[in-house]
Structure 1
Amino acid sequence: MVDGTRRFRSGAIAAVIVAVVVLLAGTAWLWSSVSTDGPEPGAVDGSAVEQVHLGDSFAAGTGTSPLVEDSPFTCQRSSVNFGQLIAKRHGYRLTDVSCAGAWTKSLYEAQYQGVAPQLDALGPGTDLVTMMIGGNDATLYSTLVGACGRAAGSDPSGAPCRAELGDRPEQAISTEIRPAVERALRDIRNRAPHARIVIAGYPWLTPASESCRPTVQIADGDVSYVRRNQARLNSAISLSAKAVGVTFADMSWAANGHDACQPRGTSWILPMVGSPSGVTMHPNEAGQRALADAVDAVLPAS
């Protein structure tokens, strides 16, 4: 990476302390499958579908409750995350290894003591993989939410975060995150050759342009900056899915009007201020249901 990207990473470390493992969100086509290659779940022998759920805190449902019984507390794995909901809707046999704070590297190595690499859950008998990953790589989300949130105090009506970071998030998405996600999807395909693989895009955290401080503590001009980088991330994930021939479940159209600035009951995202769980800028229960709906929409009818 160029020196600017190294500075981007260094500056982002501080944001992790403030942001509670944060992540972000969406572009492309509504709930569209970029590929329908691969067998239908459960088609191998007609038995119960073996589903594996992978990913980060958005996939784990961090901020929603109750937690999965006997799951590692550090993973903050919710029993109402979208992988869990898909399994309950269809009676699938679920192995959920999603975990808060996961990078794509967490698929290959232990994230915490006692938390195995997520790819270990896959095998030739896996019929369906549901997942969301990429937002934590290069500390992208913790920077866009944490650092941009802190910067707002210096110039709330301006764009102080954009002035500070410039195109460094975009560079990280293209040079680090997209290759990492594509590699991960290829390795998932190799580990689970018969599985239908669905990777979900991230729902919008902010509106397209309007700010809503203090609910979301991001400066007026940085709201669109955060959203553009969410769009770039989801585009990178979508292109990675297409390159590997797996299915992308996009949230960009469905999530419009459900960002963290919307009132309770309409928003799908926990706000930066006033979150009932204390976790911020993550999908709430309605957001997890919407993610499950998006994944359902690209799965073959059973």
Structure 2
Amino acid sequence: MKPRSALPLFGTGLLLAGSPLLGASPASAAGGNYVALGDSYSSGEGTGDYIGSAGSCDRSNHAHPALWAAANAPSSFAFAACSGATTTDAINNQLSAVNGSTTLVSISVGGKDAGFAGALQTCVLNGTDACPTAVNNAKSFVTSQLPGLLDQVHRGIRNRAPSARVVVLGYPHLYKIGGSCAFGISDTSRSAINGAADTIDSVVADRA
């Protein structure tokens, strides 16, 4: 069973590692074998429309890996991403979808390990005073422990598919500073949460 979070992490944005996934042409995908790994921002949690056979992984045909596969028609598409996945989940439960014939891999992972969903929940429910501490605790994990965990995931992908293009994805800002949104949190909290996304993106980019 995967751990469930009360709130999703951050949205998904392409970060780096080889060529951008969404920029790959149909011709370059022809005959290729694509595997999508990762957490809720690869599985498509939040769309409200999920593939029944995916169970609690909340995979959606509206998620970016499924949309890309539909548009580019690779020879095969393995949708292994699962909502709430950690780096350990990716290694133990998803990497088996990757093999020597895999030509393209995408992955977003690391936010669940860091506990950013819990930090976000603290910011929303407990106010400005509690938010910076919760976010800083998560950022401390990201800078001290997440690099080694990401290395294990990336090494596992490379060992199983040494010739594949690997696209690593990051997490964008949730909030506009000075804007209005459903959760009425302060600009101080918004800045802290956006800064957390910057921190994890920097670490993910470095390890990629």
- TM bracket (short chain): 0.7 to 0.9
Residue 187 of structure 1 deviates from its aligned partner by 1.2
Tell me the residue number matched to 1:299.
none
Distance in 2, matches of 1:69 and 1:133, equals: 23
Residue 90 of structure 1 deviates from its aligned partner by 0.6
Normalising to structure 2: TM-score of the pair? 0.84
Give % identity: 25
| Aligned partner of residue 53 in structure 2, secondary structure | coil
Tell me the residue number matched to 1:23.
9
Following superposition of structure 1 onto structure 2, how do residues 27-46 of structure 1 map, counting pairs within 5 Å?
A: 33=16, 35=18
Residue 70 of structure 1 deviates from its aligned partner by 2.1
Distance in 2, matches of 1:182 and 1:41, equals: 29
Residues 67 and 31 of structure 1, relative CA distance in 2, 3 Å threshold: closer
Distance in 1, matches of 2:163 and 2:70, equals: 22
Q: Which runs of 5 or more residues in structure 2 are unaligned?
A: none
2:169 is aligned with 1:200: yes
Distance in 2, matches of 1:60 and 1:188, equals: 18
Distance in 1, matches of 2:11 and 2:73, equals: 29
Residues 69 and 167 of structure 1, relative CA distance in 2, 3 Å threshold: closer
Deviations 1:140-176 (A, max 9, x none): x222211111112xxxxx44311x3373222111112
Tell me the residue number matched to 1:160.
130
Distance in 1, matches of 2:175 and 2:67, equals: 25
Distance in 2, matches of 1:126 and 1:57, equals: 22
| Aligned partner of residue 96 in structure 2, secondary structure | helix
Number of residue equivalences: 201
Which structure features the higher share of strand residues?
A: 2
Tell me the residue number matched to 1:222.
189
Deviations 1:46-105 (A, max 9, x none): 96211000011111001114322422x210110111110111111012100111110010
2:159 is aligned with 1:190: yes
Following superposition of structure 1 onto structure 2, how do residues 40-119 of structure 1 map, counting pairs within 5 Å?
A: 48-71=31-54, 73-92=55-74, 93-109=76-92, 117-119=93-95
User: Which structure is larger by alpha-carbon Rg, 1 or 2?
Assistant: 1
Tell me the residue number matched to 2:104.
128
Deviations 1:224-263 (A, max 9, x none): 011111100111111111xxxxxxxxxxxxxxxxxxxxxx
Residue 42 of structure 1 deviates from its aligned partner by 10
Residues 230 and 185 of structure 1, relative CA distance in 2, 3 Å threshold: same
CA RMSD of aligned residues (A): 2.9
Which structure features the higher share of helix residues?
A: 2
